[in-house]
Structure 1
Amino acid sequence: FLPGDLQQKVDPYLRPLYDALFEMLGAENFQKCQERGDIEVAPLAYMRGRTLDDSFIILDEAQNTTGEQMKMFLTRLGFNSKAVVTGDVTQIDLPDGKRSGLKEAVKVLRGIDDIHIHYLTGKDVVRHRLVQEIIKAYERSAEKK
């Protein structure tokens, strides 16, 4: 249980997204975009029942969605909208026995026109140079198992 209003409750989980938006837009500009309604940041649970027309929608950390959550999100897409789903299937935090909605969506949606799946590698990392080496080390370890 986290005290506070909805925004205060979800802010800790959305911090990485805010960090990226602040870096791209600046904190003040981001705030203005939110106030005008140009940018909305909302938890996945609050998407149910919505239709998002004329929107660019991003679902981040999608490896931690369930299949049901992923389907719900993808079916919110309205007219003149695009959706981008990001996630890293090597960083799934779901309880044992729960299948990642991202993994399921990749399998189910492959081959549908206008749905494109792109895979990034350690070479795409734009963090500290050691992060690429860390990723490679974990990949080598996983191959040995």
Structure 2
Amino acid sequence: MLTARARVQAAVGQLVASRSGERATVALFRSVARGQPTADSDVDLALVLPEEVSTEQRDAVVDELVDHVRSRTGNTAQVLVVDRAGLARMVAAGDPLARSWSSDALTLAGPALKHLLSEPAAGRPRTQPVDEGGRPVGEPVR
């Protein structure tokens, strides 16, 4: 019998990769990620999207994730959505949620969330010049 974490991994990883592309990250966190869920635990997912994803695309992915998790596991999914700039702001502010992701997040699709949290400007390419506020300027250096 599959564990709750294995069922979520199977249900979510491929879905997000096919709908949001390789630059989107989805990670499991809290009790299911730690292997400590109860029968009625929510499935907590962090969805980190590139800035160019439209609101409509984002909402469609979230709706599909929630439905997909419910149909495969019987549990409710809570999806926290942030773009990469928002993730950078969370890291810079010392947000407790971002700190918890660095220790217990389990990436299901896309670039590893723990890696995005440790990159300068939280997910921007290391070769991308940024201004004092962490916003990209100019073209990436190749």
- TM above 0.5: no
TM-score w.r.t. the length of structure 2 is 0.31
TM-score w.r.t. the length of structure 1 is 0.31
| Larger Rg over CA atoms | 1
User: Which structure is higher in strand share?
Assistant: 2
User: Which structure is higher in helix share?
Assistant: 1
Higher relative contact order (CA 8 A, sep 6+): 2
